[in-house]
A and B are shown apart, each in its own frame.
Chain A
Amino acid sequence: MALLQISEPGKSLAPHQRRIAVGIDLGTTNSLVAIVRDALPKVLPDEQGRELLPSVIRYLPDGRTQAGFEALDSVVIDPKNTIVSVKRFMGRGLVDVEHLENAPYDFVDEPGMLKLRTVAGDKSPIEVSAEILARLRQLAEDSVSDEIVGAVITVPAYFDDAQRQATKDAAKLAGIAVLRLLNEPTAAAIAYGLDNGSEGVYAVYDLGGGTFDISILRMSRGVFEVLSTGGDTALGGDDFDHRLYCWVIEQAKLPPLSIQDHRALLQCCKNAKEHLSHSPLARVHQTLSDGTVVNVGISQAQFFEMTQTLVAKTLVSCRKALRDAGLKAEDVKGVVMVGGSTRMPNVQRAVGELFGTQPLNNLNPDQVVALGAAMQADLLAGNQSKDDEWLLLDVIPLSLGIETMGGLVEKIIPRNTPIPVARAQDFTTFKDGQTALAITVVQGERELVQDCRSLGKFELRGIPPMAAGAARIRVTFQVDADGLLSVSAMEQGSGVQASINIKPSYGLTDAEITRMLQDGFASAKEDLLSRSLREEQVNAQRLLDAVQTALNSDRGLLSEQEQAAVDQEMATLERILKEETDSAVLRKAVDHAAKATDEFAQKRMNASIQKALAGKNVAEI
C-alpha cells in the first residue's frame, strides 16, 4: 500500500496553494483593507465590526501611537500631535502645500518633504502613513491567520512620482511587500466593471477627502485600458468643509480661533456638510472654549452656492481628460462615482449634466477602491485561473521632462502615455574634458521649470574625457508599472556606463529607512536582523516558486543538461533556505540561483511572445 506523504506543518507549499494578498485604500480621511475570499472581495472589519479606519495618528510623549478611532477624539484636545489628512503632505515640501496656515501642526521644512513636529519628535508624512499601514496590516493578519504575501496599495491617479515613491516607502517601513501601486479610479473600475460585466467607455469620477481624480477607461473582454486621466491632488471633501467653516466664521463674526476651537468648529462644519447631503437644512452649533456659542443655520442652496467653484474645478479636469482621450462626453457610457464626497447632491447633479447620464452609484463609494485593489492583489498573487485573468493597461498621469537652458522644460514622456514606458534622450558635454553632467528631471504640464515639480537631480559621472560636444550620452528614463521613474545612462561611443548619482528632492534613502526602522515602531515587534533574514527568506521562496512554476509549464524549452543544472541549483537553494540563519549568506545563494536561471526566464519570455501571435496570422488579414 502506498504511503501517504504529509509535509511538515507550515512547510507545505503545494503549487495550488492559495496565496493571500490584500488590497489597501490608503485614504486622506479613512483607510481600508480588503481581501478576496471565495471569489468575492470583502472589506475586513476590526474587532468591533468597523470597516473604515480613520486615517488619524496620535503621537504620545513616550513614543507610542494611537490610531484610527482611538486617536479621533484627540483631534480637538491634542491637535498638534494628532495628525489627520497626512496624505496631503506625502511627497510635498512646505512650499507645495496650499492653505498650510489652516493646519494646526508645527511644520519643519526639510529638503523635498516637510516634517511634522510632535511630542515624539519630528515625523515625516511617510512615517505617519506607515503607522496607518501597519494597523491595516495587523488587522489583515489577525483576520486571515495566514501569511500575507503582499499588498496592492492604491494612490490617486494624479499622484506624481514623489507622492508615489513616498507611498511605497511608507509600505516598506510598515513591513508590507508592495505588489503594485494601483491608481484609485482604475481600482474602482475593476471592482465596478467585473461586477457588472461592463463593456465600453466609462469614466470614473473620484472625489475623496483630499484628492480628486478623473479617469476615462475602455473596458472590453477582460481588458481595462485607461485612455486618459486627470485631476487635482489638493482638492477634496476637506476643501468643502473649509469653505463652510470660513462662511460660519464670517456669519458669526468670530475672532481668530485657538487651534482647539478651530478643530472643533471644523468638525462641526464637516458634520453639517454631511447632513446637507440628505436634508435641505443643517445647523452648525458649537460652544467655544471661552463660552461663546456659535449657532448658525445653513440651507442646502447656500452650501451649494459657496462650494460651486470647487465643483466647477472638477468639471474642468473632466473636460480635459475627455479631450486627452479624444472623446466627447456623449461617448461615455457611464460614470462610476467613487469617494465619500460624491454623496453631495450638487456633485452628482453637475457630473450628470456634464456627461448627460445618471451617475452610477450602485457600489459603496467608500469601499469600491479597496475592493478593486483586493481583486487586483488576488490576481497578482496568482490566484485567478488563466481564463479569468484580466489585463490592466494604465498610463502616466503627468508629463515627464528635463530642464534645459534658460529654465525651460523639454518634455520626454507626455502625460497619458501607457506604462511601462521608456524614452531615451541624448546629451553631450559643454566643455573639453568634461567628465560629469547634471540633469534635473521635472514632472508637470507647464513650459517653465519653476511651474513643474522637480523630481530630482541626476548626476552622471565617469564620462570619458573628450572634446566638447563629442560625447554622446544616452540617458534612458524608464517608468515602471507602478508609475515610478528610474534613470540610467550610457556613453554611446565608448560604451561606458556613466554612474548615476540620484539626489531625489523627496523620498528616503535606504539609510534613512533603516534609521526609521531602528527607532520606529517596527523595532518593537521584531528586530532588524530577523527582519532582513525574513526578507531574504521571502525572496528565496519567491524564486523557488517562480522557477517551479516555470519548470512545470516550460521544462521543454531547456535541454536535458540545462534542466539538470536548474534542478540542481534549486535543490541547493532549498537546502540553504532551510538551514541558513545569516541573511547575507542567504542573499548570496539567492543571487547565485537567480543568475543560473536568468537564461531560462529569457527563453520563456520570448516563447510566450511567439505563442501570443501563433495561429493568429494577423499579417494575412
Chain B
Amino acid sequence: MVVANLSASDNYFQFFGLNQQFKIDLSALDQAYLAIQKEVHPDRHARGSDMDQRLAMQMATFANTALQTLKNPIQRGLYLCGLHGVDAKLETNTAMPAAFLMQQMEWRESLDDYANDLAALEVLMTEVEQSKQIILSEIAQAIDVDSSYEKAAELLRGLLFIDKFAAELDDAISALV
C-alpha cells in the first residue's frame, strides 16, 4: 500500500510551517490547519481515484492529529519533549515534589467539603486555573529558553494532575449549575 509521503513534513510544527517551540500563535496554527484541510480533506477528492481518496484520508487524518497535538498545551509539551528524546514516563513516574502533593490534597479536600457550594467551587476553579497558568509559563521557560526538557517533562506530569483535577471540579460545578 502506498502511503502519503510525509518524510519531509512528519514533524507537526514543520507540517504547519510553525517554529518548533512551546509558545505558539494559536490563530496561525488554525489558519495553517484550514489552509491544508482546504486542499486535502476527503470532500475535496470525492470524485478522485481510489488512490486520491486514500491519500486524502491519510493526509486529513494526519492534519487532525497534528492539530490536536499542538493545540493542547500538555500534548504540545509532551510532543516537544519526545522530539528531544525525553520520555515523560507518565505511566511509571509519579514522583512529585512534596509541596505540589500538599496543594493537590488541599484542593481535593476543598472539593469534598464544598461539593454543594457553587460559589466556593468557582473560587477554587479560579485558583486551579491560576496555578495552571503559572506552570504553563514555567514550561515555556524550560522549553523555549532553557532547553531543559527533563524539567519540562516534570512540570508536564504535574500539569496532567492539575488538569485531571480541573475536569473533576468542572463536573462538580456543572452538576450544580
Contact = CB atoms under 8 A, between A and B. Distances in A.
A274 interface: no
Of B9, B35, B43, the most chain A CB neighbours within 10 A belong to: B43
Contacts of B52: 546, 550, 601, 604-605
Contacts of A392: 41, 43
Contact of B49 (A543, A617, A621): A543
Contacts of A330: none
B36 A602 contact: no
Contacts of B104: none
Interface string B119-134: 0000000000000000
The 7 tightest CB contacts between A and B, nearest first, are: A380-B46, A608-B39, A481-B42, A612-B35, A546-B49, A601-B51, A618-B28
Interface in B20-70: 25, 28, 31-32, 34-44, 46-52, 55-57, 59-61, 64-65, 67-68
A547 interface: yes
A473 to B, nearest CB: 18
B35 A19 contact: no
Contact of B42 (A420, A601, A612): A420
6 contacts: A179-B46, A419-B64, A481-B43, A543-B50, A609-B36, A613-B17
B50 A612 contact: no
B145 interface: no
Interface residues of A, number: 51
B105 interface: no
B55 A602 contact: yes
Contacts of B174: 319, 323
B160 interface: no
B39 A609 contact: yes
A393 interface: yes
A275 B103 CA distance: 61
A180 B51 contact: no
Contact of B5 (A419, A480, A606, A608): A606
A19 B47 CA distance: 10
Contacts of A543: 49-50
Contact of A618 (B2, B17, B44, B56): B17
A599 B51 CA distance: 9
A380 B15 CA distance: 26
A618 B4 contact: no
B19 interface: yes
A422 interface: yes
A616 B35 contact: yes
A420 B50 CA distance: 16
A597 interface: yes
A391 B37 contact: yes
Given A382-B46, A545-B47, 7 more contacts: A420-B57, A421-B64, A481-B42, A546-B48, A601-B51, A605-B4, A618-B28
Interface of B: 2, 4-5, 8-9, 15-19, 25, 28, 31-32, 34-44, 46-52, 55-57, 59-61, 64-65, 67-68, 174
B143 to A, nearest CB: 17
A60 interface: no
Contacts of A612: 32, 35-36, 38-40
Given A381-B47, A602-B2, A618-B16, A609 B61 contact: no
Interface string A415-426: 001111110000
B41 A481 contact: yes
Contacts of B18: 618-619
Nearest to B3: A602
Contact of B64 (A380, A418, A601): A418
A542 B43 CA distance: 15
B51 A597 contact: yes
Contacts of A597: 49, 51
A418 B61 CA distance: 9
Given A594-B50, A612-B39, A601 B55 contact: yes
Interface in A490-547: 542-543, 545-547
Of B5, B42, B49, B56, the most chain A CB neighbours within 10 A belong to: B49
Contact of A481 (B15, B34, B50, B57): B57
A8 interface: no
A611 interface: yes
Contacts of B44: 389
A290 interface: no
A619 B65 contact: no
A379 interface: yes
B17 A422 contact: no
A257 B41 CA distance: 54
A62 interface: no
Nearest to B4: A605
A616 B32 contact: yes
A420 B47 CA distance: 17
